[in-house]
Amino acid sequence: MSSDTIEVRVLLRHYWKKGLSQRKAAEEINEVEGEGTTSKSAAGRWFKRFDAGNFDPLISRKRALFQQDNAKPHTAKKTKAKFEELDGVEVLPHPAYSPDCAPSDYGLFRSMQHFLKGRRFESFDEVEEVCQEFFDSKEPAWYFEQIRNLADRWQKVVENDGLYFEE
């Protein structure tokens, strides 16, 4: 799946959340992105999925999704070429200077920070034990929700022209 396809899906979900019709959503996207970017029928298929709570194409996939930041080693020609060789991996686009788009930053680490607040540790074993306690305290659905929230975060980054934003 190309980054263009993901971007169109994020836009469709945005317009679905705003309550636009599938026709109006397709018109808006085509007006901005160019005629033929999406169709009313494609928008309709996605709106039905969203209505059913089916956001899983970003989660349940045959290929692994890999999100990286835009550090030079990650965007080097050699690295890009290696990812193209890997048939089972798809690299997600990552807006420049947007650490808030990394699920680990806005979900995992924030939650862990609250969990660990005020604690002091005497040994590395204590740290490992408490970290394991944190991971065990989260249901599998919580981790999936962090990934699902990624599309919303991308949309916020787009709406803020890639600038950092507060919650």
Q: How far is Cα 55 from Cα 30, in angstroms, rounded to an integer? A: 22
Domain termination residue (choose one: 54, 75, 92): 54
Tell me: do 29 and 90 sit in the same domain: no
Q: Examine the domain organization and report whether 31 and 66 are in the same domain.
A: no
Q: What is the pLDDT along the chain (167 residues), one digit of tens a residue?
A: 444 677 788 888 888 888 999 999 999 999 988 888 888 888 888 888 888 776 655 454 566 667 676 778 877 888 888 887 877 777 766 655 565 666 666 678 888 999 999 999 999 999 999 999 999 999 988 887 887 777 677 666 666 655 555 65
Q: Do residues 39 and 66 share a domain?
A: no
The per-residue pLDDT for 106 is: 67
Q: Are 19 and 88 within one domain?
A: no
On whether both 72 and 137 belong to a single domain, the answer is yes
76 and 40 in a common domain: no
Q: What is the pLDDT of residue 152?
A: 72
For residue 160, give the CATH number of its domain. 3.30.420.10
CA 22 – CA 15 distance, rounded (Å): 8
Report pLDDT for 89: 74
* pLDDT confidence of residue 82: 84
Handedness of CA 76, 109, 129, 148 (dihedral sign): negative
Residues 132 and 166 grouped into a single domain? yes
Residues 42 and 97 in one domain: no
Q: What is the DSSP string of 131-166?
A: HHHHHHHS-HHHHHHHHHHHHHHHHHHHHTTT----
My answer on whether 50 and 93 are in the same domain is: no
Please state, in angstroms and rounded to a whole number, the distance separating the CA atoms of residues 42 and 29: 12
User: In which domain, by residue range, is 6 found?
Assistant: 1-54
User: Tokens 């660990």 sit at which residue?
Assistant: 116
**How much is the pTM?**
0.42
Domain boundary residue among 54, 69, 85?
54
The total number of structural domains in the chain stands at 2
- Answer for the pair 15, 31: CB distance below 8 angstroms, yes or no: no
Beta bridge pairs of residue 64: 89
Q: Are residues 38 and 87 in the same domain?
A: no
pLDDT at 1: 43
Same domain as 167, residue 94: yes
* Cβ 155 vs Cβ 10: under 8 Å: yes
Residue type (1 letter), 77: K
Chain-centre distance for alpha carbon 164:
16
Please report, as a single letter, which amino acid is at residue 153.
R
Question: Do 37 and 20 belong together in one domain?
Answer: yes
**Distances in Å between the alpha carbon of 127 and those of 116, 120, 121, 123, 131?**
10, 9, 6, 7, 6
Q: Which H/E stretch holds residue 92?
A: strand 89-92
Which of 16, 37, 54 is the endpoint of a domain? 54
